[in-house]
């Protein structure tokens, strides 16, 4: 599914984040940038050790929740990996929506600062971190739409959803918001 937002493209696909041929792929990282399962595991396995070597060197203190940092992409087809740290879901009253929005916004700022014309996001926080899919889709899509309207960049933002239920949740929300 594709939508035009202020001349830019917002796209939803079902697939695997590591296969994306875009300028930057976003990792669903943790604040210590120490790797893990899910998206993080797939990105480090696919990209090889160069990614962790770089983040250890550039960001020894990690990255706060609600923000993001950028590195090279090792052997992945992308040029950059943006390591975004979403919140752990704990009921929704601990600032989770603001932190999830912040992780998306900072990722987009870094992409623009590094000249990326295309960026692919996974559904940050909706796996190990337990953020309900429909609520995360709402925050993620609203944040990206607002950023595209304000900045007219990047040219393409793609959400890569793992499995049909995640795709359907994002598609229903985009239908409502676009
Ligand atoms: N491509 C696209 N989406 C995927 C992939 C993939 N290869 N693998 C999983 N997903 P998660 P989080 C989906 O757990 O919730 C790690 O251990 C998955 O179905 O990767 O932000 C980190 O180190 C889900 O919808 O990220 C952190 O400690 C979504 O991507 C922690 O998990 C996010 O799931 C971060 O948890």
pLDDT digits 0-9 by tens, 62-104:
999 999 999 999 999 999 999 999 999 999 999 999 999 999 9
Q: Which two tokens stand for residue 96?
A: 């989770």
Residue 24 belongs to domain with CATH number: 3.40.220.10
pLDDT in tens, 143-175: 999 999 999 999 999 999 999 999 999 999 999
Query: Ligand 1 centre from 127 Cα, in Å?
Result: 5
* 138 carries an active-site annotation: no
Provide the number of structural domains found in the chain: 1
Expressed in angstroms and rounded, the spacing between residue 134 Cα and the centre of ligand 1 is: 16
- Domain coverage including residue 58: 2-177
Catalytically annotated residue among 19, 40, 61, 138: 40
Q: Are 134 and 161 in contact (CB under 8 A)?
A: no
Q: How far separated are the first and last CA of the chain, in Å rounded?
A: 11
**Angstrom distance (rounded) from CA 45 to CA 130:** 23
- Does the C-beta of 123 come closer than 6 Å to ligand 1? yes
CB-CB contact of 98 with 117 (8 Å): no
């Amino acid at each position: 599914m594709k939508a035009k937002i202020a001349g830019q493209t917002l796209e939803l696909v079902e697939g695997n984040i590591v296969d994306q041929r875009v300028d930057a792929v976003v990792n669903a990282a943790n604040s210590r940038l120490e790797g893990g399962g899910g998206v993080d595991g797939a990105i480090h396995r696919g990209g090889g050790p160069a990614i962790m070597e770089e983040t250890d060197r550039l960001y020894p203190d990690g990255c706060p929740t609600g923000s993001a940092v950028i590195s090279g992409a090792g052997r992945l087809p992308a040029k950059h990996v943006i390591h975004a740290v979403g919140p752990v879901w704990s009921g929704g009253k601990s600032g989770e929506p603001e932190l999830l929005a912040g992780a998306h916004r900072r990722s987009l700022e870094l992409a623009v600062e590094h000249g990326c014309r295309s960026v692919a996001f996974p559904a940050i926080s909706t796996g190990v971190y337990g953020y309900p899919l429909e609520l995360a889709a709402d925050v993620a899509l609203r944040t990206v739409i607002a950023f595209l309207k304000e900045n007219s960049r990047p040219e393409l933002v793609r959400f890569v959803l793992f499995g049909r239920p995640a795709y359907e949740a994002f598609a229903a929300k985009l239908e409502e918001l676009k």
